[in-house]
Amino acid sequence: MNINKLKNSALINICKENADIVMFFILIFIKIMFYAKQISPEYLYIGVTHPVFASVLVLVSFSVLFRYNKRIKYLYILDIVISLMLMADLMYYRYFKDVITVASLKNVKLLGGVSSSIGSLFSIKDLLYLADIVILIPFVKKYKNKENIKKRPLLSKFAVFSIMFIAGVTINAKSVYAVSKEQPTLLSSMSNRIYLTKLIGNLNFHAIDAYNYVSTKVKNSKSLSSQEQQEIKSFLENNNNSSGTYLKGVGEGKNLIVIQVEALQQFVINKKVNGQEITPNLNKWLNKSLYFDNYFYQVAGGNTSDAEFMSNNSLYPAQSGAAYYSYSGNQYDSLAKELKDKNYYTAALHGYNEGFWNRNVMYKSEKFDDFYGEHSFNVNETVGLGLSDKSFLEQSVDKLKSFQQPYYSFLITLSSHFPYDDVEGYGNFNVGEYENTLLGNYLKGIHYTDEQLGMFLDKLDKEGITQNSVIVLYGDHFGIPRDNVEELYKFENMSNVNDLQWFQYQKVPLIIHFPEDANKGVNHTYSGQMDLYPTLANLFNLPKQYMFGKDILNSDNGKVLFRNGSFTDGNIFYVSWTNTYYDIKSGKQIEETDELARMKEKYNKELQYSDDILNHNLIKVFEANNKK
Ligand code: GP9
Ligand code: MN
């Protein structure tokens, strides 16, 4: 026998001996790639090949450690588990355009929508995921009975395992690292789970999700003493004990319509570009309303969902990630819940995937009666990310008309979403010298949404809804990211901008309209999204129990505390990342005084209290104690 022949037969022998491993590896790999294609038909396989290959390699590597008859069992079970998981993910995707997470499993009882329509979500083709499991039964049986042909030394088994395992982990780490570079908060916030799954594959997604879930649990496993709980409760009781009664109860019995507008910043208000108003409709509307011109967005890792979370609960965003994701199983004393207690019908409306930002789960926890997501709208026109604001708002009017009164409707727009590249969809608003820039496209997007809002508000008027409703409108967060902020400064004719000035651009408009254009005017109090719920609680006569914000209409002092520890009271501004204080009037830096140091400390504590509430589900505890 010559050397080549020898080599060949050795190779053939290795292949023969490991046919089971190779076969299951290929099968599992193909299934995960097939799933990837199903959730993103437009997607090229290339990007996800490495992480899928590597994650399968890691799982399959363990089989090497078993004896032949045991390892076939391991591989077979692995195949079954992964196949079932992919099928479940696929059905979840068909309904929610999302991937299953541990948190969503925990709330499975809340997910009425999917379970009732599982039949319609299932397609015969899905059985392909299980085909090999049936076909391979005889093969598995044969292998199970096969005695070990020759015993391999433990050391060699371990060496092969190590090589496979380390190779898999290394390739995986590379893909995960690339994601963390591209979008630093994506892995912890899990804001866009489909996108994340496209980048790192289904198995890695589930591994990271489980890790996030467990690590938060472990971090919070130490429970608070009753004294610590009491301290938080007292803080909250003192926080909103103002005796002010300005406009108290004026909204009682009226409908409440809240519109959260995507990426609407304040600098576009009453501003022109190329000789034309950017937001002519909102400008008109705010003249008939109560307009807050020092209102800041306070979002953190949860972006849009944080804006919703604060506005509906007056709790700070989660320390990391999105509260909508990590704390969706908590109990809340939300705006919807309190209005429901006053016999309001409550609904959230948003023309996008129900699962995005975990809304399908979170709205249940926030006690909305119904969530009208993408499935409840006819997606007959798309602009930007999905259903156009035009169509969304038109269809929403019809829904509002059908709601039992009084109602609380929470609407979230979509079209003016970053990167604002659907300029055709936005229409032909000429932004002059800003054509073909991010800022120019942003202005087009906002102008488009303003036009749709104008039509929506007109329609509400015609339908007689305005007369009987308090209508609130605000922006969710910045539109111009830090990377492009120079474009904004140029537009505003600013140069050498410092952190204080940057912060002054982090305002969003808040507009509250009352029937008959009552109570119109401008309120300059320094305030933010944390303050909406307490302010509405005053207008609608709701209890103010567990709120960190303030009722803007009845407080003399401004206060905005940001998740990163920065804060302002309208006179000074503290920028946490440089540990610097500014005097707002003079724009100059000032030294830290004892009082400022105390303030900083106090606010850190406040953020900690809010975290404690989330981490230990304290509203549930407080409410249970109240009932005793
Ligand atoms: C989509 C949307 C976008 O549902 O609300 O969220 P964002 O990316 O702006 O946080
Ligand atoms: Mn948003």
Burial 59-79 (b: 16+ CB within 10 A, else e): bbbebbeeebeebbebbbebb
Q: Is 309 in the pocket of ligand 1 (CB under 6 A)?
A: no
Q: Is 356 in the pocket of ligand 1 (CB under 6 A)?
A: yes
Which numbered atom of ligand 1 lies nearest the CA of 356?
A: 4
Q: Average the pLDDT over 196-200 and give the result.
A: 88
Question: CB of 62 within 8 A of CB of 161?
Answer: yes
Domains of the chain plus CATH, in order, are 2-220 (no CATH), 245-557 (3.40.720.10)
Q: Is 360 in the pocket of ligand 1 (CB under 6 A)?
A: no
To 10 degrees, what angle do helices 68-96 and 128-135 make?
A: 160
Q: Which ligand is nearest to the CA of 350?
A: 1
Which residue puts its alpha carbon closest to atom 8 of ligand 1? 304
Instruction: Give residue-wise pLDDT tens across range 151-181.
Output: 678 888 899 999 999 999 999 999 999 988 8
Question: What is the best residue among 96, 303, 363, 480 to mutate for testing ligand 1's pocket, by most ligand atoms within 8 Å of CB?
Answer: 303
Which numbered atom of ligand 1 lies nearest the CA of 263?
A: 9
Among 385, 390, 356, 360, smallest CA distance to 372 is for 360
Amino acid at 472: V
Model confidence at 262: pLDDT above 90: yes
**Per-residue pLDDT, 242:** 74
Which residues line the annotated binding site for Mn(2+)? 262, 304, 476-477
Angle among Cα 456, 338, 324 to the nearest 5 degrees reads 75
Which residue puts its alpha carbon closest to atom 10 of ligand 1? 304
More confident of the two residues 455 and 223? 455
**Per-residue pLDDT, 106:** 64
Question: What is the best residue among 352, 410, 417 to mutate for testing ligand 1's pocket, by most ligand atoms within 8 Å of CB?
Answer: 417
Which residues line the annotated binding site for substrate? 417
**Per-residue pLDDT, 110:** 45
DSSP state of 507: B
pLDDT band for 42, please (50, 70, 90 cuts): low
DSSP state of 330: S
Q: Is 324 in the pocket of ligand 1 (CB under 6 A)?
A: no
Among 450, 470, 91, 66, smallest CA distance to 273 is for 450
Instruction: Give residue-wise pLDDT tens across range 364-420.
Output: 999 999 999 999 999 999 999 999 999 999 999 999 999 999 999 999 999 999 989
What is the pTM assigned to this prediction? 0.81
Q: Would you please indicate which residues are annotated as catalytic (active-site) residues?
A: 304
Which residue puts its alpha carbon closest to atom 5 of ligand 1? 304
**Neighbouring C-beta atoms of residue 590, cutoff 10 Å:** 14
Question: CB of 345 within 8 A of CB of 369?
Answer: yes
Instruction: Give residue-wise pLDDT tens across range 266-322.
Output: 999 999 999 999 999 999 999 999 999 999 999 987 889 999 999 999 999 998 778
Q: Is 297 in the pocket of ligand 1 (CB under 6 A)?
A: no
Question: CB of 251 within 8 A of CB of 540?
Answer: yes
The rounded Å distance from CA 434 to ligand 2 centre is 23
Q: Determine what percent of the chain is predicted with pLDDT higher than 90.
A: 72
Which residue puts its alpha carbon closest to atom 3 of ligand 1? 304
The rounded Å distance from CA 426 to ligand 1 centre is 18
**Per-residue pLDDT, 46:** 63
**Per-residue pLDDT, 213:** 87
When mean pLDDT is compared over 139-148, 229-238, 313-322, 475-484, the highest value belongs to 229-238
Tell me if residue 154 falls in helix, strand or coil.
helix
Give the chain's radius of gyration (CA, Å).
28
When mean pLDDT is compared over 37-51, 199-213, 530-544, 570-584, the highest value belongs to 530-544
The rounded Å distance from CA 261 to ligand 2 centre is 8
Model confidence at 114: pLDDT above 70: no
Q: Average the pLDDT over 474-492 and give the result.
A: 92
- Average pLDDT value for the chain: 91
Pair type for strands 272-273 and 276-277: antiparallel
**Per-residue pLDDT, 7:** 61
Among 356, 314, 305, smallest CA distance to 332 is for 314
Lowest mean pLDDT among 103-107, 134-138, 417-421, 481-485: 103-107
Q: Average the pLDDT over 466-490 and give the result.
A: 93
**Per-residue pLDDT, 5:** 66
Model confidence at 501: pLDDT above 60: yes
The rounded Å distance from CA 127 to ligand 2 centre is 38
- Number of alpha carbons in the 13 Å side-chain half-sphere of residue 204: 32
**Per-residue pLDDT, 117:** 60
- Number of alpha carbons in the 13 Å side-chain half-sphere of residue 336: 25
Q: Is 352 in the pocket of ligand 1 (CB under 6 A)?
A: yes
Q: Is 303 in the pocket of ligand 1 (CB under 6 A)?
A: yes
Question: CB of 487 within 8 A of CB of 437?
Answer: yes
Pair type for strands 295-296 and 527-528: parallel
Q: Is 415 in the pocket of ligand 1 (CB under 6 A)?
A: no
Distance of CA 182 to the CA centre of its chain: 18
Model confidence at 24: pLDDT above 70: yes
Distance of CA 238 to the CA centre of its chain: 31
The rounded Å distance from CA 296 to ligand 1 centre is 18
Q: Average the pLDDT over 353-366 and give the result.
A: 94
Three-state secondary structure along 399-463? HHHHCCCCEEEEEECCCCCCCCCCHHHHCCCCCHHHCCCHHHHHHHHHHHHHHHHHHHHHHHHHC
Instruction: Give residue-wise pLDDT tens across range 203-231.
Output: 999 999 999 889 878 877 788 899 999 99
The rounded Å distance from CA 473 to ligand 2 centre is 14
- Map tokens 């789970």 to a residue: 193
Question: CB of 420 within 8 A of CB of 438?
Answer: yes
Model confidence at 113: pLDDT above 50: no
Residues forming a β-bridge with 296: 507, 528
Model confidence at 112: pLDDT above 50: no
Model confidence at 109: pLDDT above 80: no
Distance CA 87, CA 305 (A): 28
Q: Determine what percent of the chain is predicted with pLDDT higher than 70.
A: 94
Task: Give me the DSSP letters along 104-153.
Answer: HHHTGGG-HHHHHTHHHH--GGGGHHHHHHHHTHHHHHHHHHPPPSSPPP
More confident of the two residues 187 and 323? 323
**Per-residue pLDDT, 194:** 81
pLDDT band for 107, please (50, 70, 90 cuts): low
